[in-house]
Amino acid sequence: EGKMKLAPHPKLPKGKKIMLIILDGWGEQIPDEFNAIHRAETPIMDYLKTTAPEKWRLLKAHGSAVGLPTEEDMGNSEVGHNALGAGRIFKQGASLVDSALETGAIFEGSGFKYLKEALPNGTLHLIGLLSDGGVHSRFDQLQLLLKGSAKQGFKKIRVHVLTDGRDVADGSSVKYVQMLEDTLEELRGEGCDARIASGGGRMKVTMDRYENDWNVVKNGWYAHVLGEAPHRFTSCLEALKKLKEEDPSVNDQYYPPFVMVDESGKPVGPIVDGDAVVTFNYRADRMVMLAKALDDEQFDKFDRVRCPKIKYAGMLLYDADLKLPRNYLVSPPEFTETSGEYLVHNGVKSWVCSETVKFGHVTFVWNGNRSGQFSNTLEKYVEIPSDQGISFDKQPEMKAIAIASKAAEALRSGEWDQVRVNIANGDMIGHTGNLEATILGCTTTDKAIKIMLDATEEVGGIFVITADHGNAEDMVKRNAKTGAPIKDKQGNYQILTSHTCAPVPIAIGGPGLPKGVRFRTDLPNAGLANVASTFINLHGFEAPHDYEPTLIEVVD
């Protein structure tokens, strides 16, 4: 208890009302025609940037600043919200799995030993996102896991692939499937019966999050576990080709579920009693739902029809509160004493909200991948249901205005010290690759910000606006050296659906911001992990000693 009490800040008063706004996928980039934020009508964000230079700055949101292996790694919502909420930089899943594979420790740990209980007869199934986007998983890690598992004695391996097109270019699934087929052929040459067994696009099959749509996971259960899907092919490359011919509007993110069958039409790799299963994504949010279906005997979100007795391990522990899954190959970063926990121990009351598709980002991920709350009286988490069953470019307003209105109401109620929201539009629409829709989404975002800043003004509060990583500010593939947009062979610009390595803005202000508060100038390399100390100060407390330094100073 006592050790989480924070000292009062020597200059900043307690009791301020703070509106903390996280824009998802909102970076700072060259203001050209591919920058949806620049193209959008954003009077509020423009005003903040240009009128108070000592209260606006950029933060690093990618690479080592958020615990990713290299500076080439773009930011993402998990590492971004982890850093924002925890106030420190932790080596992330991607890095931890890299080390475990490099040293071989992954095969010595209790998780892999558990899988080996399926030997000598059990098949090993590997389920996950097939790309090298580095957000949820990486191809090179899958490859090392495959080879190592064969060495460890698995004679039969089945891979269940989810095609990407969201963290990597649409259409690249063919390349990754070919790379996987090459690896599997190599393994077969060494006497391991290794094949692809099922698949589908990540947004249609398996990788839903925050219980937005259980049907997505059900599709995956049927394809991966039961070996049943509306589409059956003898090879995965054929599946991708034929499905696209049948419906040209289908893309990597949205391939329907399919299974691989042999010449007699029998599925080559359903999951059966005695098998071992690994979900090889290290990132939690989009594996939690399948992990529950695989790990939880009481599971009742859909009828699993057949529930094989398996040895299941996640690549990582996905939920530290639920201890889900029970077995895992690599221990996750240890996020302890995150800002949410400090606020609760110091009597600061938080009201937190987003729409379904990002709800867990400002709650679960913010709190260090824990599904619970630190307090039921000092915290309130409010979820606004996302639009169902549509691609967000068809509904680019999403729920931004509803979130903002609720947040404004929460701040006005006077009941809450911190009102924290995630506005999803820049990211979710950015991922569709639809530039015009993304522009509309960014315009809506600015309108939502206005609603929240008006409320802040009214109650004499403080606002902090930042973002978790870039996305909407760059919608085209660029030449890495020159920055020039790249065209494909047909002369069309290559659409960028993924995040970016851009820095993100942070702005502070509002009538409650004490006079003399401004951004320090001695932290040019500050990143998302510096934000927690900053808002803890604005709540009137000294930041914990092990947190990254605050971004602000108070001049007399």
d(CA 280, CA 207): 12
- Which of 29, 35, 42, 76 lies at the binding interface for ligand 3PG (CB under 6 A)? 76
Q: Which residue is closest to Co ion by CB? A: 427
> Could you say whether residue 355 binds Co ion (CB under 5 A)?
no
**Residues 427-456 within binding reach of ligand 3PG (CB under 6 A):** 427, 431
Cβ atoms of 46 and 31 closer than 8 Å? no
> Could you say whether residue 474 binds Co ion (CB under 5 A)?
no
- 372 phi and psi angles, rounded to 5 deg: -85, -170
Cβ atoms of 83 and 528 closer than 8 Å? yes
> Could you say whether residue 135 binds ligand 3PG (CB under 6 A)?
yes
E-strand ranges in 379-436 read: 379-384, 418-423
Q: Which residue is closest to ligand 3PG by CB? A: 77
Q: Which does 81 bind (CB under 5 to 8 A by kind): Co ion, ligand 3PG, none?
A: none
Q: Which does 286 bind (CB under 5 to 8 A by kind): ligand 3PG, Co ion, none?
A: ligand 3PG
Kindly state the smallest distance separating residue 429's Cβ from ligand 3PG, in Å.
Answer: 11
d(CA 529, CA 388): 33
> Could you say whether residue 213 binds Co ion (CB under 5 A)?
no
Which residues, 6 or more positions from 245, have their beta carbon under 8 angstroms from its beta carbon?
Answer: none
> Could you say whether residue 397 binds Co ion (CB under 5 A)?
no
Nearer to Co ion, 379 or 427 (CB): 427
Which is nearest to 396 in space by CA: 432, 420, 354?
A: 432
- Which of 29, 42, 77, 422 lies at the binding interface for ligand 3PG (CB under 6 A)? 77
> Could you say whether residue 167 binds ligand 3PG (CB under 6 A)?
yes
Give the length of the chain: 556
E-strand ranges in 218-327 read: 231-233, 258-260, 276-279, 311-316
> Could you say whether residue 164 binds Co ion (CB under 5 A)?
no
Six token digits for residue 327 = 């077995």
The owner of tokens 């993100």 is 504
- Tell me which of 77, 95, 137, 498 is the catalytic residue: 77
Instruction: Give the CA count within 13 Å in the CB-facing half-sphere of 21.
Output: 35
> Could you say whether residue 132 binds ligand 3PG (CB under 6 A)?
no
* Eight-class DSSP state of 123: P
Nearer to ligand 3PG, 24 or 379 (CB): 24
Nearer to ligand 3PG, 162 or 449 (CB): 162
Residue 77: active-site member: yes
**Residues 420-459 within binding reach of Co ion (CB under 5 A):** 427
Kindly state the smallest distance separating residue 368's Cβ from ligand 3PG, in Å.
Answer: 16
C-alpha dihedral, 102 to 107 to 112 to 113, nearest 10°:
-160
- What element of type H or E holds 194? strand 193-201
Contacting residues toward Co ion, per CB under 5 A: 427
Site residues (CB under 6 A) for ligand 3PG? 24-25, 76-78, 135-136, 166-167, 286, 427, 431
Residues annotated as part of the active site: 77
